[in-house]
Amino acid sequence: MQLSQILFTQGFGTRRECAGLVALGAVRVGGEVVDDPAADFAPAGLVLTIDGVDWPVHAKAVVLLHKPAGYECSARPKHWPSILSLLPSPLRTRGLQPVGRLDQDTTGALLLTDDGALIHRLTHPKRHVAKVYEVGTARPVEPAQVERLLAGVVLDDDPAPVRAAAAEATGECALRLVLTEGKYHQVKRMLAAVGNHVETLHRSRIGPIELPTGLKPGQWCWIDPALAEPGAGG
């Protein structure tokens, strides 16, 4: 594939803009400047360096964002900045979308991708992708509350009980909750149903993908698309 076309697929602008980037000597391959927009390269496994920044070529992009508080999971936010503003311009140009949503005050692991089929697979209710939440509560976590979360609580919009796949107190006012469903405000509503209240909420894991300790709020990293697939990692 021509180098300018590869840049175009990666979100670096229009075809003309991508050709201009190459012609200006802003693109390196293997450490060498390539100034011919028509130069051919195999995209698979290719790493470009654009204005000094390495950029691995991905046919479909999958990234993990450490979402900070104060951001909305929407391309058209109403009250807070969009989480998309935390991504570099090429990823925004490619139209990455969050896989599910986190409230503006919820922090932690958020997958984003331009692979619509992957989004569908990860969010389909039958997939039961496990998500781990670290919950700070307003009142001490009681054993009876944990038992009710595991047994199932009824939310106001659904007569069927909603159960936690796992729940354990991790401190006096701290709880680790594992959910395999994705209902609206589910963690907050489940805690309210057992007589407690969520003060802080942080998602630490999605399926086999754990938020790296070194990834600070607002930072992102590439994820192997195979690792993001439902059922990956056993």
- Give the H/E segment covering residue 135: strand 131-137
Query: Exposure string (b/e) for 11-21, b if CB count within 10 Å is 16 or more?
Result: bbbeeeebbeb
36 is catalytic: no
| Neighbour count for residue 211 (Cβ, 10 Å) | 21
Tokens representing 38? 């028509």
- Give the H/E segment covering residue 151: helix 143-151
Task: Quote the longest CA-to-CA distance of the chain.
Answer: 68
Catalytic site residue from 51, 103, 105, 157 = 103
The DSSP letter of residue 202 is E
Tokens representing 184? 């609206």
CA-derived radius of gyration, the chain? 21
Paired with 167 in beta bridges are: 177
Task: Give the catalytic positions in this structure.
Answer: 103
